[in-house]
Amino acid sequence: MLDLLVNAIEVKTLAMVFAAIAAGATVLTIAMPLLSGNNLDKRMKSVAIEREKIRQRERERLARGEKATLRQSPKQYVQTVVEKFNLAKWVGQEEARLKLVQAGYRGQAPYVTYLFFRMVTPICAFAAALFYLFVVIEFNQPPLVKFGIGIGAAYLGMHLPLMLLKNKIQRRQLTIKRAFPDALDLLLICVESGMSVEAAFKRVSEEIGSQSVPLAEELTLTTAELSYLPDRRQAYENLAKRTDLDGVKSVCMALQQAERYGTPLGQTLRVMAQENRDMRMTEAEKKAAGLPPKLTVPMILFFLPVLFVVILGPAVIKVMGL
């Protein structure tokens, strides 16, 4: 059987198959960036359309004499459950609003929805676990053990919204961290060209949107706060709280000190841009240094067996054929 399999496989056929696979992978790698395209124009167009819809809706509300608001309202049943069970006191946390803001969710509606799911998710997880253990499968254990597993599932369900929220925060912070040194360079160019801080933040928020939408949102909010807040220091502190990144915090502290003591803003931004760029390079080097230990187990499990087969396979086939 082995001889037939070896004779059926020709070297030329294998070479042609591997060459075709390599050629297809090369074409796909080259074509992927071209096929992905630039979605910035589509996103800007959708934002403009949504803005017009909001304006039209608010004009209709004003015409009817209703109170106009741009913030999204929570669902009525969600609001009722949160108020009835007083979840803001029992389930809510002091840093819940801050975590939601760091994840990009602003307003009362995301906060109420978060409290609602903090209560509903454990109940659903507990009911699903008991249904699975008692009905779906035959789990030969006492009912007390099954209820214990259900309680464990409820505990995991209680922390599931917080885990998802932290995952969202990490992904958002990653895109901000990658684009922040470039934003500082653009901010430095704008400031040294004679722009004010508000105009510089506005300009940078418009340009950095193609690289990081969350950073553009944060800079836009900072521009608005610099315009209407009586203390500019509060705007910088709010930016540091919303991002919760060491690089952004250091830049905000430097901007506060430049605002208080009158130090040159251009020199401060140049130093902070270089520091953030060095931090990004250091993090990349740290990840590169940790790559060999991570590749040890995959190489032992996948590369070495294949290497042994390639090296010893012909010899084993020849010995078996004798």
194-232 core/surface letters (b: 16 or more CB in 10 A; e: else): ebebbebbbbbbebbbeebbbbbbbbbbbbebbeeeeeb
Q: What is the pLDDT of residue 29?
A: 76
Pair 114, 96: CB distance under 8 Å? yes
Neighbours of 141 (CB within 10 A): 10
Q: Which of 287, 187, 194 is nearest to 239 (CA)?
A: 187
Tell me the pLDDT tens digit for each residue of 146-177.
888 888 888 888 888 888 888 999 999 999 98
Those residues whose C-beta lies under 8 Å from the C-beta of residue 239, and which sit 6 or more positions away, are 218, 221, 222, 248, 252
Q: Which of 268, 304, 86, 291 is nearest to 187 (CA)?
A: 268
In angstroms, rounded to a whole number, what is the distance separating the alpha carbons of residues 238 and 47?
A: 25
Q: For residue 309, is pLDDT > 60?
A: yes
The pLDDT confidence band at residue 322, using thresholds 50, 70 and 90, is low
> C-alpha angle 232/233/239, rounded to 5°?
95
Q: What is the pLDDT of residue 4?
A: 44
Tell me the pLDDT tens digit for each residue of 29-40.
777 666 655 565
Tokens of 167: 């995952």
Q: For residue 6, is pLDDT > 50?
A: no
Those residues whose C-beta lies under 8 Å from the C-beta of residue 61, and which sit 6 or more positions away, are 67, 68
Neighbours of 270 (CB within 10 A): 16
Q: What is the pLDDT of residue 10?
A: 59
* Averaged pLDDT of the chain: 78
Tell me the pLDDT tens digit for each residue of 261-277.
877 888 888 888 888 88
Q: What is the pLDDT of residue 167?
A: 92
How is the chain split into domains, by residue range?
A: 1-31, 73-171, 179-289
- For the segment 206-214, the average pLDDT, to the nearest whole number, is 85
Q: For residue 79, is pLDDT > 50?
A: yes
Number of residues that this document lists for the chain:
322
In angstroms, rounded to a whole number, what is the distance separating the alpha carbons of residues 238 and 236?
A: 5
In angstroms, rounded to a whole number, what is the distance separating the alpha carbons of residues 109 and 104?
A: 13
Tell me the pLDDT tens digit for each residue of 89-137.
555 566 778 888 888 888 777 877 888 888 888 889 889 988 888 887 8
Q: 3-class DSSP state for residue 101?
A: helix
Q: What is the pLDDT of residue 266?
A: 81
Eight-state DSSP code of residue 72 = P
Q: What is the pLDDT of residue 68?
A: 47
Q: What is the pLDDT of residue 287?
A: 85
Q: For residue 22, is pLDDT > 70?
A: yes
Q: What is the pLDDT of residue 1?
A: 44
